[in-house]
């Protein structure tokens, strides 16, 4: 259990202390209409985690009340996911459908209490009669039916005498309730459909609001934990259990924030669309945010559990950066998996002055990993290196092989380039090289200086492997539809070559291919004859740099990196870095990812410290330092950058004081980096001051509302997601200068 208690555990503890419950019973109640995703992992961790922490029990319950969408294959996927994450639901998996008879009896009881009635309005009329947020609803004339008539009609609905939609059963609550959900909610609807468990036994199915609270009650659940969108349903939950006068103890509902992750979609409905449309290769496609997808990609359960623990439990919805999940898997594998050599895009190298064969003893793990094991790396005259580890006309700061710069073969010798062989089109097809016999790794007496070590594979002993490189499924942070799919989310390399031990000894399922990333032997397609590896994650967050890469020369290693043997590898933090990391996370409340970046980079952390001495705003400042400042330092030495920590502090202060938005801050930074001008001067000259005055913002909003009557109507009908649309339009119109907080409030007010 994490040391600081979340609000749900606080509630549970209070309930146990006051004697409200003898035992904590939670449940995880998915609808089996798709594979579970990482959001479900969060819910699983919360429900099973709380039960475990307080010696209670968590039921796995399939909420199978919608026969047309559900299937046993999804039940199996849900069970797999819970099991894989290491949780135990005990002897039975529960199904809401097991309670159909009991739920039906409760419906009869409600009718007899004159608290429910059969309504025969059409779906459309029901919607119309419900009213709006500002206007109360109108009760259906059918609400006056006698108890006998209602009992008779319900029974005949059950017996299949009516068509779908002809009647519904509704609770008789309050058609003018402020909470619209309480305006006589539907309890049962007619569905002549085959159910995957109850077959054709039923032609009426209970609605979520009716089935859920009763299933919780029947199972003796104490804490019914769900996501925030059910907040308004809580009144129905309580009304039903109270009205039915059920014996105590009864369950209570508590809500927490849903997990959202950027660069993907999450709802099962949208994921199903990707599967059905063959945009991905099934539910377990390694690009999917499903638990089966992560599992097949090579994520460990530890990394997922850790992630869920890190993001915590809150009551405010938020978007988590997928980089945080990637950090968790890297962090886990860094200490666990063997490191080997694989070449994805081979370039032939012939070592002119080497004859014969040898085997180089190479450890699988670095010194700071408490694991042993090594293999033999065959070495001979002909080897392959990565194509982009050689450059004929390198830019400044390129540390690998060039016509004039030697390089070390990882674990092996230093080589230098003697000749570049090209084909008729001028493409490099081979390097003729020379090796230095005295330079062998670990026994180097050659005195030759190199700045980097590269991976290589002996041509004679090389094994061919298929490597599947996965990238983010969507190219946009907040994808809106299929048009946002990332066309490069899967790249298959058929003929990568790898050192033989990986295939022959297979000491693990997961490997670090040095300087490339972490890889996993595909659990389905891998065979000894045709090995297949999935890329789990790169060694560092490459996405952050991507936009820059397109304009900059192909690969520029960061000039300050002086760790000779370890270019591209992630090492454990040293003592000093660890101390910084702890200070950042514990004292300054920075998140792990940001803290990790800062702690590992001396220039950055010093810069951060200097700026922090000027302005006490650790979080905003850290964000600018690890993003903007770090990006700049990748291209320019720290002594040559045009801005100072004091100027960055000034920039942060303007953001904190809401003089400018954080979006505009990025724009200002670009100018600071180019010209070394004070941020306040840039803001003044370019007129970038944030607009917070409602008098200026108001007419802009009115204009946008007037231009989008359809969306206004949809919003008022309950599609609250459209709030973001309106806010976005205002920000766009003002070139990002409108204060988002003010805009949000004003838009909400005007759309009410």
Catalytic residue ranges: 31, 258, 268
How far is it, in rounded angstroms, from Cα 306 to Cα 329?
Answer: 9
CB of 47 to ligand ATP, least distance (A): 8
CB of 50 to ligand ATP, least distance (A): 13
- 209 within 8 A of 194, measured Cβ to Cβ: no
The secondary structure of 257-295 as a DSSP string is PPEEETTS---HHHHHHHHHTTSSSSTT-TTSSBHHHHH
- CB nearer ligand ATP, residue 60 or residue 415: 60
CB of 226 to ligand ATP, least distance (A): 5
CB-hemisphere CA count at 13 Å for 357? 8
How far is it, in rounded angstroms, from Cα 726 to Cα 714?
Answer: 12
- CB nearer ligand ATP, residue 84 or residue 129: 84
How far is it, in rounded angstroms, from Cα 413 to Cα 15?
Answer: 67
How far is it, in rounded angstroms, from Cα 691 to Cα 698?
Answer: 11
Stretch that binds ligand ATP, among 138-146, 155-163, 258-266, 647-655 (CB under 6 A): 258-266
Structure tokens at 254: 């508590």
What distance lies between CA 321 and its chain's CA centroid?
Answer: 6
- CB nearer ligand ATP, residue 181 or residue 631: 181
Beta partners for residue 348, in sequence order: 384, 430
CB of 570 to ligand ATP, least distance (A): 29
Structure tokens at 601: 């980079």
Stretch that binds ligand ATP, among 67-75, 245-253, 261-269, 538-546 (CB under 6 A): 261-269
Query: Is 171 strand, coil or helix?
Result: strand
How far is it, in rounded angstroms, from Cα 62 to Cα 74?
Answer: 10
How far is it, in rounded angstroms, from Cα 404 to Cα 415?
Answer: 11
Q: Which of 267, 357, 606, 616 binds ligand ATP (CB under 6 A)?
A: 267
Contacts with ligand ATP, 456-495, as mask; x by CB under 6 A: ----------------------------------------
- CB nearer ligand ATP, residue 35 or residue 608: 35
Tell me, letter by letter, the H, E, C secondary structure of 51-72.
HHHCCCEEEEEECCCCCCCCCH
- CB nearer ligand ATP, residue 255 or residue 331: 255
CB of 615 to ligand ATP, least distance (A): 35
Chain residues 371-390 in contact with ligand ATP, contact rule CB under 6 A = none
- CB nearer ligand ATP, residue 29 or residue 378: 29
Q: CB nearest ligand ATP: which residue? A: 39
Q: Which of 118, 187, 226, 329 binds ligand ATP (CB under 6 A)?
A: 226
- CB nearer ligand ATP, residue 208 or residue 518: 208
CB of 117 to ligand ATP, least distance (A): 28
Chain residues 12-71 in contact with ligand ATP, contact rule CB under 6 A = 29-31, 39-40, 42-43, 63
Instruction: Provide φ and ψ at 197, rounded to 5°.
Output: -120, -45
CB of 42 to ligand ATP, least distance (A): 4
Q: Which of 158, 167, 183, 268 binds ligand ATP (CB under 6 A)?
A: 268
- Reported for 373-377, long-range contacts at CB under 8 A and 24+ positions apart, including other chains, are 373/338, 373/507, 375/340, 375/499, 375/501, 375/505, 376/501, 377/341, 377/411, 377/412, 377/458, 377/499, 377/501
- CB nearer ligand ATP, residue 92 or residue 267: 267
- Give the list of residues 6+ apart from residue 746 with CB closer than 8 angstroms, or none: 694, 697, 698, 701
How far is it, in rounded angstroms, from Cα 374 to Cα 369?
Answer: 13
CB of 36 to ligand ATP, least distance (A): 7
- CB nearer ligand ATP, residue 43 or residue 512: 43
Told to check if 227 binds ligand ATP by CB under 6 A, we report: yes
Q: Which of 16, 143, 266, 751 binds ligand ATP (CB under 6 A)?
A: 266
CB of 4 to ligand ATP, least distance (A): 20
CB of 31 to ligand ATP, least distance (A): 4
The conformation of residue 405, written as its DSSP 8-state character, comes to B
The conformation of residue 655, written as its DSSP 8-state character, comes to H
- CB nearer ligand ATP, residue 31 or residue 273: 31
CB of 208 to ligand ATP, least distance (A): 8
Stretch that binds ligand ATP, among 259-267, 311-319, 323-331, 599-607 (CB under 6 A): 259-267
How far is it, in rounded angstroms, from Cα 547 to Cα 631?
Answer: 11
Beta partners for residue 532, in sequence order: 466
How far is it, in rounded angstroms, from Cα 514 to Cα 453?
Answer: 10
Instruction: Provide φ and ψ at 50, rounded to 5°.
Output: -65, -45
Measured over the CA atoms of residue 459, residue 461, residue 466 and residue 467, the dihedral's sign is negative
- CB nearer ligand ATP, residue 189 or residue 212: 212
Buried/exposed code over 316-349 (b: 16+ C-beta within 10 A; e: otherwise): eeeebbbbbbbbbbbbbbbeebbbbbbbbebbbb
How far is it, in rounded angstroms, from Cα 495 to Cα 130?
Answer: 63
Instruction: Provide φ and ψ at 108, rounded to 5°.
Output: -65, -40
Indicate the pairing of strand 168-171 with strand 374-380. Answer: unpaired
- CB nearer ligand ATP, residue 236 or residue 453: 236
CB of 29 to ligand ATP, least distance (A): 6
H or E element, residue 430: strand 428-435
User: Which residue is listed with tokens 């039921």?
Assistant: 59
- CB nearer ligand ATP, residue 268 or residue 287: 268
Stretch that binds ligand ATP, among 232-240, 264-272, 338-346, 432-440 (CB under 6 A): 264-272
- Among residues 698, 701, 692, the alpha carbon closest in space to that of 742 is found at 692
How far is it, in rounded angstroms, from Cα 317 to Cα 315?
Answer: 7
CB of 182 to ligand ATP, least distance (A): 21
Q: Which of 20, 197, 258, 642 binds ligand ATP (CB under 6 A)?
A: 258
The residue ranges that bind ligand ATP (CB under 6 A) are 29-31, 39-40, 42-43, 63, 226-227, 258-259, 266-268
């Amino acid at each position: 259990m994490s040391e600081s208690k979340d609000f749900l555990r606080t509630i549970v503890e209070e309930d146990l202390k006051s004697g409200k419950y003898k035992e904590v019973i939670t449940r995880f109640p998915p609808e089996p209409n798709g594979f579970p995703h990482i959001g479900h992992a969060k819910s699983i961790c919360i429900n099973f985690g709380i039960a475990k922490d307080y010696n209670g029990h968590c039921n796995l319950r399939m909420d199978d009340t919608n026969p047309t969408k559900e299937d046993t294959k999804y039940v199996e996927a849900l069970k797999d996911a819970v099991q894989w994450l290491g949780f135990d639901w005990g002897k039975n998996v529960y199904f809401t459908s097991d309670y159909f008879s009991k739920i039906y009896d409760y419906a009869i009881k409600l009718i007899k209490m004159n608290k429910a009635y059969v309504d025969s309005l059409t779906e459309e009329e029901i919607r119309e009669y419900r009213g709006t947020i500002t206007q109360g609803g109108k009760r259906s004339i059918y609400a006056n039916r006698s108890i006998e008539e209602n009992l008779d009609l319900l029974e005949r609905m059950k017996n299949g005498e009516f068509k779908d939609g002809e009647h519904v059963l509704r609770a008789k609550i309050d058609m003018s309730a402020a909470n619209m959900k309480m305006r006589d909610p539907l309890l049962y609807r007619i569905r002549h459909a085959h159910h995957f468990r109850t077959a054709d036994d039923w032609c009426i199915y209970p609605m979520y609001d009716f089935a859920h609270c009763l299933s919780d009650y029947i199972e003796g659940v104490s804490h019914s934990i769900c996501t925030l969108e059910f907040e308004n349903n809580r009144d129905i939950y309580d009304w039903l259990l109270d009205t039915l006068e059920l014996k105590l103890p009864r369950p209570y509902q508590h809500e927490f924030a849903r997990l959202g992750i950027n660069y993907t979609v999450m709802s099962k409905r949208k994921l199903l669309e990707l599967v059905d449309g063959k945009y991905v290769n099934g539910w377990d496609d390694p690009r999917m945010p499903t638990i089966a997808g992560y599992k097949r990609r090579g994520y460990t359960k530890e990394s997922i559990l850790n992630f869920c623990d890190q993001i915590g439990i809150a009551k405010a919805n938020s978007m988590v950066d997928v980089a945080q999940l990637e950090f968790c898997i890297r962090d886990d594998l860094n200490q666990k998996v063997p490191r080997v050599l694989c070449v994805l895009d081979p370039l032939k190298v012939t070592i002119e002055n080497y004859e014969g064969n040898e085997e180089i003893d190479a450890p699988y793990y670095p010194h700071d990993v408490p694991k042993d094991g090594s293999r033999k790396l065959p070495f001979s005259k002909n080897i392959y290196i990565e194509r982009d580890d050689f450059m004929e006309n390198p830019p400044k700061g390129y540390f690998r092989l060039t016509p004039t710069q030697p390089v070390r073969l990882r674990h092996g010798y230093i080589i230098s380039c003697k000749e570049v062989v090209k084909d008729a089109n001028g493409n490099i097809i081979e390097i003729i090289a020379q090796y230095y016999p005295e330079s062998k790794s670990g026994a180097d007496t050659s005195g030759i200086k190199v700045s980097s070590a590269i991976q290589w594979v002996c041509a004679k002993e090389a094994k061919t492997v298929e490597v599947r490189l996965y990238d983010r499924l969507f190219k946009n942070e907040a994808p809106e539809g299929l048009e946002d799919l990332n066309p490069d989310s899967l790249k298959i390399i058929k003929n990568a070559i790898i050192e033989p031990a990986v295939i022959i000894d297979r000491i693990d399922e997961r490997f670090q291919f040095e300087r490339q990333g972490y890889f996993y032997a595909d659990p389905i397609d891998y065979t000894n004859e045709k090995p297949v590896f999935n890329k789990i994650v790169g060694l560092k967050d490459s996405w952050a740099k991507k936009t820059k890469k397109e304009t900059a020369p192909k690969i520029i290693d960061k000039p300050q990196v002086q760790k000779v043997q370890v270019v591209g590898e992630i090492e454990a933090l040293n003592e000093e870095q660890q101390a910084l990391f702890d200070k950042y996370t514990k004292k300054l409340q920075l998140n792990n990812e940001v803290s990790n970046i800062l702690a590992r980079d001396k220039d950055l952390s010093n810069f951060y410290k200097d700026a922090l001495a000027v302005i006490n705003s650790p979080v905003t400042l850290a964000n600018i330092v690890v993003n903007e400042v770090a990006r700049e330092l990748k291209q320019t030495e720290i002594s040559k950058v045009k801005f100072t920590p004091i100027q960055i502090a000034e920039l942060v202060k303007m953001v904190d004081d809401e003089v400018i938005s954080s979006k505009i801050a990025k724009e200002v930074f670009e100018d600071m980096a180019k010209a070394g001008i004070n941020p306040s001067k840039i803001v003044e000259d370019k007129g970038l001051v944030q607009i917070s005055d409602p008098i200026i913002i108001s007419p802009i909003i009115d204009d946008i509302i007037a231009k989008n009557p359809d969306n206004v109507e949809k919003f008022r009908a309950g599609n609250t997601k459209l709030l973001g649309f309106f806010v976005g339009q205002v920000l766009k119109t003002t070139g990002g200068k409108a204060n988002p907080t003010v805009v949000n409030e004003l838009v909400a007010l005007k759309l009410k």
